[in-house]
Amino acid sequence: MTTIAFIGLGIMGGPMAANLVKAGHDVVGYNRHPEPVERLVTAGGRGADSAAQAVAGVDVVITMVPDSADVEAVALGDDGIYAHLSSGALHIDMSSIRPDVSASVAAAARARGLRALDAPVSGGEQGAIEASLSIMVGGEAADFEEARPILEAVGTTVVHCGPSGSGQTVKAANQLIVAGTIELVAEAIVFLEAYGVDTEAAVTVLAGGLAGNRILDRKAAGMLAREFQPGFRIDLHHKDMGIVTAAAREKGVVIPLGAVVAQLIGSLRAQGHGGLDHSALLKVVEQLSGRDQDGLV
């Protein structure tokens, strides 16, 4: 058993922390809003009133917060966790942030006698609940091996991708693929509906062929029903697409399709739909096609 501080108990972090409890770890959780902490306590974990209190005396801390600035504040702020962790402690950041920020946070950790891994995840809320996440990790190989049993309690595909920032680079590529796939599934659904096809039957046969993908498996039913309760919010995917487009430009890599999808996600967010699931890209396709939710012109 390892005592783990878990900072950030949202849609993803909450079930991940609960799965660490199920795996036998002593988990101390902190979240800005108290309800997720209460859920963790009900699941067998412990609660803390601050991040500093959560990390007191622990050897491992996991952070799962929304953006780069949040990670920097939690780790490096005047009362951040790096000011309270014991020498040699391991920080596993499972947020999705800029690769360069992950690298700089890791450097700051080393300067303080700490260790850091960037370990963003893919698989959405359901993957977090099922402990079936894909986890891409950047950092020192020895630190990765130490962290592996913890990561395997929340994910089924756990891979070391290289030095600090590598996990975030792979996650950026992941978000590029996911956004593009959601957009194509949305276009296919609106196309099928325009022709009056039995869309549930169509999705079944498409999922069984070369067009099969996780988006069809996990998102198509909600898209057909126009149910966009978030597993992963448009706001967060908008942030991630900003990361991948900026990183691609920095290296001179052209991502024309990704750039278009990034604009469509930005459009949806600008219309006030940032709190919806990213599968709500379907709404933009409907708007551009001049069709209402019933598929009628």
Active centre residues (catalytic): 171
CA 143 to chain centre: 22
Hey, CA dihedral for 220, 223, 224, 225, is it positive or negative?
positive
Q: Over the chain, what HEC string results?
A: CCEEEEECCCCCHHHHHHHHHHCCCEEEEECCCHHHHHHHHHCCCEECCCHHHHHCCCCEEEECCCCHHHHHHHHHCCCCHHHCCCCCCEEEECCCCCHHHHHHHHHHHHHCCCEEEECCEECHHHHHHHCCEEEEEECCHHHHHHHHHHHCCCEEEEEEEECCCHHHHHHHHHHHHHHHHHHHHHHHHHHHHHCCCCHHHHHHHHHCCCCCCHHHHHHHHHHHHCCCCCCCEHHHHHHHHHHHHHHHHHHCCCCHHHHHHHHHHHHHHHHHHCCCEHHHHHHHHHHHHCCCCCCCC
Closest CA to 154 of 6, 32, 47: 6
